[in-house]
Structure 1
């Protein structure tokens, strides 16, 4: 496969298909929660309730839907933020000087010299559909490299976390390895050559569909090389 080289800084944006599915799911979840809460409130106003567990329970009953509405609203907001053009609220930004990870309104930003090399932490949780494993690419504070060998400490002490599966349609485990190796290469060069770090990078195949070059304040899709050259120049 031809090499794709683009200029830094660049932005990794979450895959759209996953964001669309997430948005539709939480749209239904939020809509159903609103419908249930409204119907419960109307029932209280029109007819009351028999066999109340305690006096006044009828008035508290509709409030049970509020937490579900909140979960649906947050999930729907997350999906919509990922779908915004340029993904301004959900991305990984890589520059010669450092890295920035934005997830909603949470922003983490570090110079390369402030963080350790990157490692991979696999976190598994049980759901109704079975066990789900998320592969996080993590970095610790500079000086904490010794904890990278401990799986538990590697995640718990991390100051930077990237869900590799959000930015690729390939196998998340393999993508996490590719992303960690890629970021470690950029970091090593920035530290070894302060002030003279490379201004271009070769993008791994796993992430070519998610990468955008940042130019004039707006991300541009540079993942498709020209027919004459596999190196993209601006």
Structure 2
């Protein structure tokens, strides 16, 4: 991973996203994906799963792990056309896959709306096919919805943020149906926790994590 510029949220965006945390909306459940188990690397996740791509999955994983109600975050690849892709293949940008995370959550503790709010804080959704210095379609901003309600909410949030002009540019986040999700190699899981001394973790992940924790300080797990 290359080093990445940290882009702070505007005050208007932060206000909007924090406001959404107080809204109680209908909970969503994702459908079983019987086609996903086509290899030992594919995963089939049923209910209460959100799937987001927001640049480097090392960053996304550690940010969402902080939230109360999130029981697991799994890094992997989705949205492409190559079966059983390796990390090396995905980094070429030719597989069509994005680095993404499956976020397993308890809707009694955290809603899909709140996860969407966290998604838009976790990265800059106006950067096309990149996050800072991490460049390529594999780093694109994307929401892979598991059902019609997740799709509706994702599209609503994007329109609302654009209408509010929360960013200087329009949001380019892709909204696509969830399909096969391939779990990334073992060394990508819990990457930050296992590699805290690495320069990328210290220079990129840690600042993003500190900002994320500050914004969502009322929604964090007990430390």
TM bucket, shorter chain: under 0.3
Return the TM-score normalized by structure 1: 0.22
Higher relative contact order (CA 8 A, sep 6+): 2
* Richer in helix (by share): 1
* Richer in strand (by share): 1
